[in-house]
Amino acid sequence: MWSGTESNRRHGDFQSPALPTELPDHALIKDKSYLFGVANMSIIKKLFILIFFSAALSASAETRPDYAPRESAAFYLKRGEIQFDAAMYDYAYESMMLALKADPRTYGAANILGKIFMIQKDYHNAGLYFDRSLSIEDNQPEIHNAAGELKEYVSSFETAHNHYLKAATLNPEYTEALINLSRSFFRKGETGEAEKYFSSAYRSGINKSLPLYKKAEALPDSRHKEKESLLKEAVKINPAHIEAYMALATIMRLQNNYESAAEILEKLKSVKPDYTPAYLYLGNIYFTRPLPGNTREYFLNLALTNYTKAVELDPQNSETYFHLATLYRHMGKREIADEMEKKGLRLEK
C-alpha cells in the first residue's frame, strides 16, 4: 500500500497541481490532445457542450474547501470527462474534485484524478485515487490493471500481481491484464502459469491481428510503409502477437531505423520476457549499430546484458555463445571470449 494517509490529500484540502501541457508516453493514458474526437458527436455539438459546462460554473472558485457544490456529482463528472478528453487537465482536476465533494462515492472521478496524477508523474497521489476508486467499486478490471502497472513501476510487485490477477478474473479476455499477469508470474518463477496466461492473451486477439500480419507479409519489401502500418495495427489489436513485433522490428532495421527497432524489441521483452530471440536481436543491434543518446560503452553493456539473458533462457543455443565470444573479444576480454567460443563449439558437436 502507499505510504501516508488519504486524509492529508482529501478533496478540497490542496490546490490544483501544476499540470503538464503534453501527455507522456505511458501505458495507462492515451493522448487525446484534441477536443472533438469522440465518436458519433459533431464538432459543433461537442463545442456547445464544453462551452455550456465551462460557462455554467467557475470551477476554480468552487474548489475552495468551504464552497458547497451547486450542481450534482454527475454534472461535474461529465464536465470533467469532456475536459480530460480535451487534454484540459487542470480544469478536469477541478471538476473531479467538485464531483467528489458533491458525492464522495463518485469513483469515476477518482479514476480520472488517478490518471491526471499519472500524467503528472505523481505516483503517490495516483495510487491513492486508484485505491480510493476500488474501495468504492471493486468490479473495475481496467482500474485494477492500471493500479497494477503503477505498483509494478514502483517495484511493489506483490501488490501489482494481486491487481493483475483481479483484473484477469473479472475479465478473462482482457488482453493487457493477461499479459501483465503472465509477466508477473514469470518474475515469480512460475513459468507454467506465465505461459498459460500469455497463451490466453495471444488467443484472445489472434483472430483479429493475424489477417493484418498476413497481409503485411504478402506485400513486397519496397512497400515498407504499408507493411509498417499494418503491423502496428496488428500489435495494437493484439499486444501478444509476438511475430508482429519481430516483423515490425525487421522493417525498421531494413530502413536503418535501428533505434525504433530496439524500442519495439524492448516492448516485446516486456510483453514476453522469456522470448529468447528478442534478446539476441537486441544484443546484435546494441553491439553492431551506433545508436544516439548514450556512450558506446553503455550500448556494449546493454548488448552483454541481452546476450547473457539469452543464455540464461536457452543455455543450449550455441549461437548465443558465439555472439558473446565476439563481444568479449571486442571488449578486450580474450580469456572469457575463448571460453564462450569453446562452449559454443561443444554444443554444436
Task: Say which residue the cell 457544490 belongs to.
Answer: 69
Taking a C-beta distance cutoff of 8 angstroms, is the pair 170, 141 a contact? Answer: yes
**Residue-range domain boundaries for the chain:** 6-193, 275-349
DSSP calls for 248-296:
HHHHHHHTT-HHHHHHHHHHHHHH-TT-HHHHHHHHHHHHHS--TTS-H
Topology of the domain comprising 6-193: 1.25.40
Give the end-to-end CA distance of the chain in Å, rounded to a whole number. 53
pTM summary value: 0.77
How does pLDDT run along the chain (349 residues), one tens digit per residue? 333 333 333 333 333 344 333 333 333 333 333 333 334 444 445 545 554 554 444 444 455 555 677 899 999 999 999 999 999 999 999 999 999 999 999 999 999 999 999 999 999 999 999 999 999 999 999 999 999 999 999 999 999 999 999 999 999 999 999 999 999 999 999 999 999 999 999 999 999 999 999 999 999 988 989 999 999 999 999 999 999 999 999 999 999 999 999 999 999 999 999 999 999 999 999 999 989 989 999 999 999 999 999 999 999 999 999 999 999 999 999 999 999 999 999 998 8
- Write down the pLDDT at residue 67: 62
Topology of the domain comprising 275-349: 1.25.40
26: helix, strand or coil? strand
- Write down the pLDDT at residue 2: 39
- pLDDT tens profile 90-108: 999 999 999 999 999 999 9
120-157: string of b/e by CB count within 10 Å (b at 16+)? beebebbbbbbbbbbeeeeebbebbbbbbbbbbeeebe
Sign, Cα dihedral of 233, 239, 243, 245:
positive
Q: Do domains 6-193 and 275-349 have the same CATH topology?
A: yes
- Write down the pLDDT at residue 37: 39
